[in-house]
Amino acid sequence: MDSAQGRYCRISEAMKLIHQPFDRDKRKLKEFVDNVSTAFELVNPSQHDLLLKFVKTKIAGEARSKLLVRDHKTT
């Protein structure tokens, strides 16, 4: 944890919690969501947008394709 930010940790440290990419395997969804939620709790809220970009890199396969299509529709 970074002493300058108090109780928050760096994004690189929080991303260590998300060690497995999510590839739409429903058996691994809860673990992935729980780990992402914990990472967001550990990172300063002012860095959540950046953390989300890193989390998106951990989504693979068909799940990533669906996410990209959704992102393009909203931009």
Long-range interactions of 11-15: CB distance < 8 A, separation 24+:
11/43, 11/47, 11/50, 11/51, 11/54, 13/42, 14/38, 14/39, 14/40, 14/42, 14/43, 14/51, 15/39, 15/51, 15/54, 15/55, 15/58
The residues pairing with 22 across neighbouring beta strands, listed in sequence order, are: 59
In tens digits, what is the pLDDT along the chain, a chain of 75 residues? 444 457 899 999 999 999 889 988 889 999 999 999 999 999 999 999 999 999 999 998 877 777 766 665 655
Tell me the whole-structure pTM to 2 decimals.
Answer: 0.77
